[in-house]
Amino acid sequence: MSKPPSTEAAYRPLSPHLQVWKFHITMFTSILHRATGIASVVGAVMVAAWLLAIGLTASGHCPEAYTLFLSFAASPFGLFVWFGLTLAGFIHLTGGLRHLIWDMGLGFRISSANALAWWSLLGGIALTLAFWAVLFATGKVVL
């Protein structure tokens, strides 16, 4: 502990500090949960833009809105962004499930906590790969 915060700053438990924690899987997935949560905000913006593009095209306010959206969303770079967003989203989804399990007071033994962290991380990656594998296999996405 270096020094207490200034009196104006509320004293509260902080999240793991990147520089001072020795690597372990629960610390890594904790940081990853925050990072994937922030990354998912971009996903929310993209889906909101998709809905606005549909609305503007359908209402006739801007008939080329959907084409404009697709020129980004269906481009190779757009697909790369969607892949990243699904990865972040699925890891945040399984990570959220892990946190809900902990919130119920379960899985606090170190071995259980580590196992949960690994399963949620690998589960999120597996869901992402499966999602895209089926998209490619059914010909819905073609490079």
Partner 1 sequence: MVDSYLKQRSAKDWKKSEKHGAGEWLAERWTSVALFFLTLWAAWSAFGLANQGYEAALAFVKVPLNAGLLAATFVITMWHTYMGLNANVLDYFPNSRALRLLNLLFCLAVLAVALGGIYLAFKA
Q: What does the binding site for partner 1 look like in residue numbers (CB under 8 A)? A: 1, 4-5, 8-12, 14-15, 34, 37-38, 40-41, 44-45, 47-61, 66, 86, 89, 93, 96-97, 99-100, 103, 131, 134-135, 139-142
Closer by beta carbon to partner 1, 110 or else 142 = 142
Nearest distance, CB of residue 111 and partner 1, angstroms: 25
Closer by beta carbon to partner 1, 54 or else 126 = 54
Closer by beta carbon to partner 1, 27 or else 93 = 93
- HEC profile of the chain: CCCCCCCCCCCCCCCCCCCCCCCCHHHHHHHHHHHHHHHHHHHHHHHHHHHHHHHHHHHCCCCCHHHHHHHHHCCHHHHHHHHHHHHHHHHHHHHHHHHHHHHCCCCCCHHHHHHHHHHHHHHHHHHHHHHHHHHHHCCCCCC
Nearest distance, CB of residue 115 and partner 1, angstroms: 20
Closer by beta carbon to partner 1, 111 or else 138 = 138
